[in-house]
Structure 1
Amino acid sequence: MAQVSLEGVRKVYPNGFQAVETTSFTIQDGEFVVLVGPSGCGKSTLLRMIAGLEDISEGTLKIGDRVVNDVDPADRDIAMVFQNYALYPHMTVRKNIGYGLKNRGTLAAEIAAKVEDAAKMLNLTEYLDRKPAQLSGGQRQRVAMGRAVVRDPALFLFDEPLSNLDAKLRNQMRIEIKALQRRLGTTAVYVTHDQVEAMTMADRIIVLNAGKIEQIGTPSEIYHNPASTFVASFMGAPPMNLIEAEMGQGQVRVNGFEGLLPVPEAHSGSVTMGIRPEDVVLDAHGSISFRVDILEELGAHRLLHGAIADQPFTVMVGKDHVANIGETRISLKPDALQLFDKTSGQRL
Structure 2
Amino acid sequence: MAQVSLNNIRKVYPNGVEAVTPSSFHIQDGEFVVLVGPSGCGKSTLLRMIAGLEDITDGTLKIGEREVNDTDPAHRDIAMVFQNYALYPHMTVRKNIAYGLKNRKTPADEIARKVAEASALLNLDEYLDRKPSQLSGGQRQRVAMGRAIVRDPALFLFDEPLSNLDAKLRNQMRIEIKALQRRLGVTSIYVTHDQVEAMTMADRIIVMNAGKIEQIGTPEEVYHRPASTFVASFMGAPPMNLLSAQARDGSVHYGDTVVTGCNGTEGQVTLGIRPEDILPDDNGPLAIHVDIIEELGAHRLLHGSIGDDRLTMHVGKDTPVSTGPVSVSVKPGAASLFHHQTGQRL
Aligned partners of 2:260 and 2:333 also within 8 Å: no
Q: Counterpart in 2 of 1:156? A: 156
Question: Structure 1 CA distance, aligned partners of 2:214 and 2:174?
Answer: 24
CA drift at 1:334: 2.9
Q: How does 1:229-268 map to 2 (within 5 A)?
A: 229-255=229-255, 258-268=256-266
Larger deviation, residues 320-329 vs 214-223: 320-329
| Alignment partner, residue 98 of structure 1 | 98
Partner amino acid for 2:275? Answer: P
- How far apart, CA to CA, are the structure 2 residues paired with 1:181 and 1:73? 22
CA RMSD in angstroms comes to 0.7
Q: Which residue identity lines up with residue 235 of structure 2 in the other structure?
A: M
Structure 1 unaligned runs (5+)? none
Code of the aligned partner of 1:204? R
Question: What is residue 202 of structure 1 aligned with on the other side?
Answer: 202
Question: What do residues 224-254 of structure 1 show as CA deviations (whole Å, max 9, x unaligned)?
Answer: 1000000000001111010100110110111
Task: Work out whether residues 228 and 340 of structure 1, in 8 Å CA contact, stay in contact via their aligned partners in 2.
Answer: yes
Q: Residues 141-173 of structure 1: CA distance to partner in whole angstroms, max 9, x if unpaired?
A: 000000000000000000000000000100000
User: Distance in 1 between the 2:291 and 2:207 partners?
Assistant: 32
Alignment match of 1:300 (pick from 298, 302, 316): 298
**Residues 52-201 of structure 1: pairs in structure 2 closer than 5 A:** 52-201=52-201
**Within the alignment, does 1:24 sit opposite 2:30 as a pair?**
no
- How far did 1:289 drift? 1.1
- How far is the alpha carbon of 1:259 from its aligned partner? 2.1
Q: Deviation digits for residues 73-93 of structure 1, max 9, x if unmatched?
A: 001000000000111111000
User: Contact between 1:240 and 1:276, CA under 8 Å: does it hold in 2?
Assistant: yes
**Whole-angstrom distance in 2 between the partners of 1:261 and 1:331:** 8
CA contact (8 A) 1:263 1:334 kept: no
Kindly state the Cα deviation for residue 310 of structure 1 after the two structures are TM-superposed. Answer: 2.2
Query: What is the letter of the counterpart of residue 188 of structure 1?
Result: S
Q: Secondary structure at the residue paired with 1:336?
A: coil
Aligned to 1:314: 312
When normalised by structure 1's length, the TM-score is: 0.99
5+ residue gaps in structure 2?
none
- Render the CA deviation track for 1:13-43: whole Å, top value 9, x for unaligned: 0100000000111011000000000000000
* 1:66 aligned partner, one-letter code: R
User: Cα distance, 1:291 vs. partner?
Assistant: 0.7
**Distance between the aligned counterparts of 1:320 and 1:128, measured in 2?**
49
Residue 274 of structure 2 corresponds to 276
**Matches of 1:291 and 1:315 in 2, distance apart?**
11
| 1:336 equivalenced with 2:334 (yes/no) | yes
Provide the residue aligned with 2:34 in structure 1: 34
Specify the SS of the correspondent of 2:165: coil
Runs (4+) of structure 1 exceeding 2 A deviation are none
The residue type paired with residue 275 of structure 1 is: I
SS class of match (1:334): coil
Q: Which residue of 2 aligns with 1:48?
A: 48
Q: What SS does the aligned partner of 1:335 have? A: coil
Match of 2:325 in 1: 327
Q: Secondary structure at the match of 2:292?
A: strand
Residue number in structure 2 paired with 1:13: 13
Q: Displacement, 1:327?
A: 1.2
Aligned residue-pair number: 346
CA distance in 2, matches of 1:167, 1:76: 33
**Paired-residue identity, %:** 73
Q: Retained in 1: the 8 A contact 2:247–2:262?
A: no
**Normalising by structure 2, what TM-score?**
0.99
Deviation track 1:20-70 (CA, whole Å, cap 9, x = no partner) reads: 000111011000000000000000000000000000000000000000000
CA distance in 1, matches of 2:141, 2:120: 15
2:287 to 282, 289, 311: 289
